A and B are shown apart, each in its own frame.
Chain A
Amino acid sequence: MGIILYLIPISLFLGGLGLLAFFWTLKSKQYDDPDGDAHRILSDEWDDKPRP
């Protein structure tokens, strides 16, 4: 059972990483226009400099 002493902190750390990643997506405004982002990827316009 001693293994859980390692496993619990590790799993919490990994989950925490996910949480931080979510905070980052929130901060960088990735939820402002979900429909638009889904459609933009289908646009056949060539752009080597994606817009913000």
Chain B
Amino acid sequence: MCAQIAACPACSVAPSAEELAKMNEVVEARIMLSLPTVHCAACITAVERELERAAGVHSARVNLTLKRVSIEADPEVTADDMISLLEGIGYEAHELDAGTLRATETDKRGRELLMRLAVSGFAMMNVMLLSISVWAGAEAATRDLFHWISAIIALPAIAFSAQPFFRSAWSVLKVRRLNMDVPISLAILLACALSLYEVTQSGKHAYFDAALSLTFFLLAGRYLDHRTRAIARSAAEELAALEVPRAERFEGDELVTVPIAELAVGDLVRVKPGGRMPVDGVVTDGQSELDRSLLTGETVPVYAGPDSVVSAGEVNLTGPLTVRVTAAGEDTSLHRMADLVAMAESSKNRYTSLADKAAGIYAPGVHLLSFFAFVGWMVISGGDVRLSLNIAVAVLIITCPCALGLAVPAVTTAASGRLFRRGMLIKDATALERLAEVDTVVFDKTGTLTEGAPELTNLEDFKSRDLQVALALAQASSHPLAVSLAAAVSGAGVEPAELNDLHEVPGYGVEGTWNGETVRLGRAAWVGAKAGAQTATYLQIGTADPLEFTFADHLREGADKAVAALKEQGMKLLLISGDAPVAVETLAKRLGFDEWVAEALPEDKAKRINALSENGARVLMVGDGLNDTAALAAAHVSISPASALDAARVASDIVLLGSDMSPLAEATVIARKATRRIKENFAIAAGYNAIAVPIALFGFATPLMAALAMSASSITVSLNALRLR
């Protein structure tokens, strides 16, 4: 059997889970990618065909519901290859961590809930049919027979289906507290016990149908809730780590790759161009430039040579560097940033969700009401336990939070489904409610409003001869300014000039000879120019005056729309960035911000947000960098783009899946609508109770009335929630 699978994996049409696992262990690596932009049948075929054409890929399967693709491939196929393949045909892709995904993929809990839902639904329908004939006036022996059949169906069904409620109620009762599940469990159990007793006494009323429909509707709410969370969790929290936790260490003259945890202070490590600094340290050898944008928000790379201090997380751009470790592991600045986040989160006042608030009033209320009904009727009837218990159970069933159990999950499912289609993932259950309260929006600049990639601004100012030389020089470097310059110039239809002796001078720029003259493209000081306020690179031909190429950061798609729409909604807008004042001011004016703060340290951002909160503002923080994480955690609610660093994504409540920012404004509108619907739902549920509870209290309630009140309120609440879609 095993050999057969290995010989032809595609032949086994439906391999069992065990076989799949075995196949994974032996030959195949499984890669999971998140695909925020797939939406149609053509997308599925295009993605699958493109991936399966690649060498080493055995099969690819798109899951449109979760917007991801799972790839079975040889171990040497990497996720990065697959991502660039997909980008080639126009699909954005992000890697997901397959190890943690496996748990959600089998999704045992969801399937278990669905199974219980099906059983209770089946039992409810059958018992309802029997009950209708009882309500229609079945008498004596027929009624008893029908009640007995109902009991035989209902009791096992409830014993199986209502287990989640019993378990949850038991776990809170053990610590002497109350939650929504306590009145639910009590109502179900009491209703069953009393009905069984009534049936043995050939009594008139049995509440089996009510107990079952209660279980069914509440399970439906539970399942919706679970599904919403499962989708959000799988995609947002499990995006794989960007940082590779390894470093190249010098051992004698040899370079050995070791895990970061093994590095000690004083070790020498080598950081290749394009690599991320694994540790804090001091440069001992080599010259290069460092991209600090993720750490500080600065867009312009800084020079690094011997004795420069570097910190973990910075990206080395042009030349190889040898770094002496001054702090590794938990002492690095990266780690200190994480501590800052932990602090901000612990000080974040715990938000009580609407559902919890409702449960806080409801759970004790229900118990007290039915207890008083019992005591009251004991007094009135002069000690008739059977009558009093019947009335108490009727009160308990009617007040039981059937519609309340659906009120929140139905709305959040509808709202997060709508947001998911617009490319946003809700990670936290209460994020929608908190988003609805927002009145101030704080933006980060680099990587959030802008793409963190520079764009040439003064292409028209140069002669084609200069452009040809600049292009030839720029193509020789992987520096972000050079790459952007090359793209812009060749995009204008310019051919590169022919240069000799072309080489990169790490930390300074690119040099070559053209028609016997030395030509240079690089830093201001290196070519003898005076650095201006703007981001720029300089071209010098021979001994002529250097020419300045200026750059501006490329605006993220939809950023202007999002900002304008938020402003129109009457939000107070604030731009806080770690970048230089000129760059921040230019962008703030371009987008219409009233207030901006430049050169802000990570601590400053968090402090600023805390100050705003103390003045009563509800702050929405939008950011992506490590320098934003503390601020993201400190804000009332936070959003980060999928391109953000791990730490930022973990700290934020909502993740933007696409690169487009424009859904941001819509999100606040949807959130406000959703909160309004939740409140409406509570009002509807309370309204039904206001009518039904007095009837039950006075002893006029029948099982028919309980069934009607329960079904009608649940359906009204679900329909109201669906208006959001």
- Residues of A that sit less than 8 Å from B by CB: 1, 8, 11-12, 15-16, 18-19, 22-23, 26, 28, 31-36, 39-40, 42-43, 45, 49-52
Contact = CB atoms under 8 A, between A and B. Distances in A.
B15 interface: yes
Contact of A34 (B42, B45, B65, B115): B65
B309 interface: no
Given A26-B118, A36-B63, 8 more contacts: A11-B126, A11-B129, A15-B126, A18-B122, A26-B114, A26-B115, A43-B41, A43-B44
Contacts of A31: 114
B98 interface: no
A39 B129 CA distance: 37
Contacts of B118: 19, 22-23, 26
B584 to A, nearest CB: 42
Contacts of A18: 122
Chain B contact-residue range equals 20 to 34
Contacts of A39: 40-41, 44, 64
B723 interface: no
Contacts of A40: 41, 44
Contact of A19 (B10, B44, B122): B122
Interface string B118-160: 1100100110011000000000001000000100010000000
Contact of B65 (A11, A23, A36, A42): A36
Given A15-B122, A26-B111, A51-B59, A32 B65 contact: yes
A26 B61 CA distance: 19
B13 interface: yes
A49 B63 CA distance: 19
Give the residue among B13, B62, B64, B153 with the most A Cβ atoms within 10 A. B64
Contacts of A34: 65
A32 B200 CA distance: 45
Contacts of B63: 32-33, 36
B544 interface: no
B64 A52 contact: no
B66 interface: yes
B126 A43 contact: no
Given A8-B149, A12-B126, A23-B115, A33 B66 contact: yes
Interface string B58-84: 010111111000000000000000000
A24 B377 CA distance: 49
Contacts of B26: none
Nearest to B66: A33
A19 B45 contact: no
A19 B129 CA distance: 17
28 contacts: A8-B149, A12-B153, A15-B122, A15-B125, A18-B122, A19-B122, A23-B118, A26-B111, A26-B115, A26-B118, A28-B14, A31-B114, A32-B65, A33-B65, A33-B66, A35-B64, A36-B64, A39-B64, A40-B44, A42-B41, A43-B44, A43-B45, A49-B13, A51-B59, A51-B61, A52-B13, A52-B14, A52-B15
A15 B129 CA distance: 12
A12 B150 CA distance: 11
A-B residue pairs, 3 tightest by C-beta: A36-B64, A39-B41, A42-B41
